[in-house]
Structure 1
């Protein structure tokens, strides 16, 4: 049998888990295995903790040779993520969208069985999308449009990965339910806007996730044949949300392919109730007119417009989080002058700001400078950001005519849209307050919360952990990067615990509980494993790096 060549393309993958049904706490979500198998609906505090990401940073690394510190700086681009108000809004929108889409798609109902048989295929072929309405087609989707480099795709993927990508069902409420549920799928729109390429990529992605052979059986078919097959696969595997990134590539589509693809997304909504989210730069705005725009108006989520950041409290909050990670000989404090120059040279585009901070450190290390400076940042921006210099200059000018030259930067929104953002700015301010309360307002509070959480995780009571963390951070705030903060915290917590036991009047009570070993030494295996987890290492890898696990070949020889 002739082997069919399978093309390679990037697919964002998550984890696969076995269904664990939990009460969703809302009546409309109950008795639906697709909804009960999802994670709980998270509050803002949980979302903030799950999204926040801090690079590995040790003060002694500033004493490493320059060529090693160069690699340490790279961690900022890879691992740093500071939650902002718009990230919370996006998570809430996706949470509602996925669940609303599943309300009308319960695999235990006859309507579901009808949809996942060949009838789905026939409906798409004949275009009878309104002949058999869903139970409750409440979701349609939304468009996420914004400036390049502002973090649309990376944030969206972080939020999606908070959900399992595939959930395997076996049995629900005593009834057999053999089902592979795909919660989310994120694909890039092909560079040439080809619908056929998108369909084949979709089928190949489904095959890679659940082991089917859609691609092998259909790779030679035409576009008109592939579209119904794609819809049928989405229905069979209960796809929760389809995300199409780089939607501005539809501008390159030939003939009427762009309207055809957008109309197909509308059919997916009307036929199987599949929410569709499209993501792109401002170049995508012209192709998002017509039926797709009309369809998504009913979703209730609202389109998401991601502009460059303003020089406000959120901008300072972002820089405060970033500023900790300096591997130069000496650290320099974040001043108003640095806030101003970082904004001027990046114009509030987060990706450029992070790269600028890294480039400044690399140049300082290369030129054997002790610290970064505002002059160094300006110099790096002039020399290394040549490809985006004109676009940044247009943003800096504030002139509409200049900004319109760069479609990735210009939103083209109406004055009514602009005035409506006043209310949105107030909501963002409230959400920033929630983020600050969760992570801490300043460095002292953030470090205290982090150390306290770690002490609780390794076995101390909350009150003991809190007192120990406050004591250690207060005593060592000026030299916090020069000590092993976790070791000092464990010592303080152990002392406070013993003092509490001595002061207790009820010394005769015997509690039948399992005794917990308290980690007081940096060589404690639990400490090593916890620190390894912060570096995204498994327990085995962390113990192996600490030389607690021998190579088996030593014993064989």
Structure 2
């Protein structure tokens, strides 16, 4: 939580909380993270190197699309604040709801979308983009039209609960709000074992968010708004493929449309192709999402790497070898990794770590091609049907992809726990 920078007389103080807009190059640098490189490997015991290789889990090498996302996120917040100058009476009419009741002209809705397969880094891309703002919460010592201090919340990120129910989303939003602001504004709601009126809870949260000038709301795992059963029917080829919304989900969709229609909170959604496809099925929803931009996070492909191998995700990852005799990251190794993982970044990292575990269990202190093959056939064996579907580009097999990779968190928990031993 920070205090805003000194703003010029007559300026919109909400814009001060955004800081300066980053250049494309600066955005890529800000969103990337590369851990310290391994040094003096030969002097470090093997069991310690097993722990050091876990640093690779924090490795994040931003592709250009993430810099574009960061700039889109900034522009969404800037555009939203530009029309919500707290010095203007019309802004407070919007906050109170009087503008809607009187039919006053509201600003155009602002929304953006991030789509990608499970494991390519959608959530990380969105969170890193949001964290490029100087602070999530800004404390204003004084505020137009109000007595005393006031809190401005620049962004909030929430995962849509698996149930897709209004009550569960309301609870998630309230919990995230209280964590971010360090307050207990929603204590009475959260003390309840169960929120019975989800839409009423959502409306109260919205009113609080609007009055504190929320800059961007990020809803992750947007596919959870839709029934799993309807998605399974589509994957199995039953029906015409149109996802069927339950009554609660339809209410939620209308609530989100109202949130953007009112011009009160710019919305960023992220999810898998199933979820994004279902969300954008209605033209009205599609138009609103496109106002802030559509961003596709792709899996790694050799045709996109090619001659740029040394400066690519794989090229940089290849520098993190915790053996005395490393294996060159050449075309052969890169193509093998892509083949064994389908180019899914999270699986690439898992393969890299487990290959090291196999290598460090041998007498020879070296990393070999066979270590990656063995790791894929053992530790990553449950993922092979999904990876095969990606290699074959089979629509029938790809339709089951999300079930195989994203719906079983116990697999990833067991994998990461196992590589720590």
Q: TM-score, normalised on structure 2?
A: 0.82
1:26-76 CA deviation, whole Å, 9 max, x = no partner? xxxx81111123210111232222122121234214421111000000001
Q: Between Structure 1 and Structure 2, how many residues are aligned?
A: 378
What does 1:417-456 correspond to in 2, within 5 Å? none
Contact 1:61 1:327 in 2 (8 A): yes
When residues 86 and 338 of structure 1 are mapped into structure 2, their CA distance, relative to the original with a 3 A threshold, is: same
Q: Whole-Å Cα distance in 2 between the matches of residues 408 and 90 of structure 1? A: 27
Contact 1:243 1:278 in 2 (8 A): yes
Q: What is residue 105 of structure 2 aligned with on the other side?
A: 133
Q: What is residue 300 of structure 2 aligned with on the other side?
A: 309
Q: Whole-Å Cα distance in 2 between the matches of residues 303 and 197 of structure 1? A: 27
Q: Whole-Å Cα distance in 2 between the matches of residues 81 and 294 of structure 1? A: 30
Shift of 1:347: 1.5
Q: What is residue 343 of structure 2 aligned with on the other side?
A: 348
Tell me whether 1:286 sits opposite 2:256 in the alignment: no
The one of 202, 207, 215 equivalent to 1:240 is 215
Equivalent residue of 2:313, what SS?
helix
Q: What is residue 391 of structure 2 aligned with on the other side?
A: 396
The one of 19, 25, 33 equivalent to 2:4 is 19
Equivalent residue of 1:40, what SS?
coil
Tell me whether 1:231 sits opposite 2:206 in the alignment: yes
The one of 161, 178, 190 equivalent to 2:149 is 178
The one of 267, 271, 276 equivalent to 1:276 is 267
When residues 85 and 270 of structure 1 are mapped into structure 2, their CA distance, relative to the original with a 3 A threshold, is: same
When residues 262 and 203 of structure 1 are mapped into structure 2, their CA distance, relative to the original with a 3 A threshold, is: same
Shift of 1:174: 13
Q: What is residue 59 of structure 1 aligned with on the other side?
A: 39
Shift of 1:283: 2.4
Equivalent residue of 1:198, what SS?
helix
Structure 1 outlier segments of 4+, above 6 Å: 172-177
Q: TM-score, normalised on structure 1?
A: 0.63
Contact 2:143 2:150 in 1 (8 A): no
The one of 357, 360, 368 equivalent to 1:362 is 357
Q: What is residue 552 of structure 1 aligned with on the other side?
A: none
Tell me whether 1:41 sits opposite 2:21 in the alignment: yes
Shift of 1:349: 0.9
Q: Whole-Å Cα distance in 1 between the matches of residues 83 and 178 of structure 2? A: 25
Contact 1:204 1:214 in 2 (8 A): no
When residues 22 and 314 of structure 1 are mapped into structure 2, their CA distance, relative to the original with a 3 A threshold, is: farther
Structure 2 unaligned runs (5+)? 229-244, 406-421
Contact 1:170 1:176 in 2 (8 A): no
What does 1:210-229 correspond to in 2, within 5 Å? 210-218=181-189, 222-229=197-204
Equivalent residue of 1:351, what SS?
helix
Q: What is residue 374 of structure 2 aligned with on the other side?
A: 379
Q: Whole-Å Cα distance in 2 between the matches of residues 64 and 360 of structure 1? A: 18
Q: Whole-Å Cα distance in 1 between the matches of residues 131 and 325 of structure 2? A: 37
1:6-30 CA deviation, whole Å, 9 max, x = no partner? xxxxxxxxxx11111357xxxxxx8
The one of 230, 241, 255 equivalent to 1:264 is 255
Shift of 1:407: 4.9
Tell me whether 1:73 sits opposite 2:53 in the alignment: yes
Q: Whole-Å Cα distance in 2 between the matches of residues 343 and 354 of structure 1? A: 11
Q: Whole-Å Cα distance in 2 between the matches of residues 107 and 196 of structure 1? A: 31
When residues 379 and 304 of structure 1 are mapped into structure 2, their CA distance, relative to the original with a 3 A threshold, is: same
Q: Whole-Å Cα distance in 1 between the matches of residues 156 and 326 of structure 2? A: 42
Q: What is residue 82 of structure 2 aligned with on the other side?
A: 103
Q: How much is the aligned-residue C-alpha RMSD, in angstroms? A: 2.7
